[in-house]
Amino acid sequence: MLPKKPTFAVKRSKTGLGLFALQAIPVNKRIIEYQGTILTNEESEEVGGKYLFTLDENRVIEGSSRSNLARYINHSCEPNARERPTRNRIWIWSLREIQAGEEITIDYGEEYFDAYIKQKGCKCETCSSQSQKKKTK
């Protein structure tokens, strides 16, 4: 039996490392699970870090392990995927068809954006394109 064809690749993107689709992904398809340790909000405040993903109002998933490929999904102001928490799991679903070779992105939300992205400037494809258009005018 042949090994399963890889679905994703971690590669360089405008913001560092990103998760890229190696095959086309249809619209409204479950893509990947954001994996890690489930922590209470209090525990997550002690741990800190950028890889905390809100599961519900009381818990987060700490996903800093490099085996968690979903941690490489970057922010975009016009994402092609979104998160869907389900009990003790967070799944990433496609919002539209994602082409082979395309980076998978989600909207990180206002709180994360304000804390980590805003002061450096958003480097997502949408914001980068708008920035380039302003420079050429």
- The mean of the pLDDT values for the chain is 89
Residue 41, phi then psi, degrees to nearest 5: -60, -40
pLDDT tens-digit map of 109-132: 888 888 888 888 888 888 877 655
Domain limits at 74? 8-136
pLDDT at 133: 53
Q: Are 97 and 26 in contact (CB under 8 A)?
A: yes
Give the residue, 121 or 65, on which the prediction is more confident.
65
pTM: 0.87
**Maximum distance among all Cα pairs of the chain, rounded to whole angstroms:** 57
2 found inside a domain: no
pLDDT at 3: 56
For residue 58, what is the domain's CATH number? 2.170.270.10
* Cα–Cα dist 101/61, whole Å: 28
Question: Does the structure show a pLDDT above 70 at 135?
Answer: no
* Cα–Cα dist 83/89, whole Å: 10
65 found inside a domain: yes
pLDDT tens-digit map of 20-45: 999 999 999 999 999 999 999 999 99
1 found inside a domain: no
3 found inside a domain: no
In 3D space, the residue among 11, 15, 8, 4 whose CA is nearest the CA of residue 92 turns out to be 8
73-94 as b/e, with b when 16 or more CB fall inside 10 Å?
A: bbbbeebbbebeeeeeebbbbb
50 found inside a domain: yes
105 found inside a domain: yes
Q: Are strands 105-106 and 74-75 parallel, antiparallel or unpaired?
A: parallel
106 found inside a domain: yes
* Cα–Cα dist 76/109, whole Å: 10
61 found inside a domain: yes
Give the residue, 118 or 63, on which the prediction is more confident.
63
Q: Are 71 and 81 in contact (CB under 8 A)?
A: no
Which residues are 40's β-sheet partners? 59
* Structural domains of the chain, count: 1
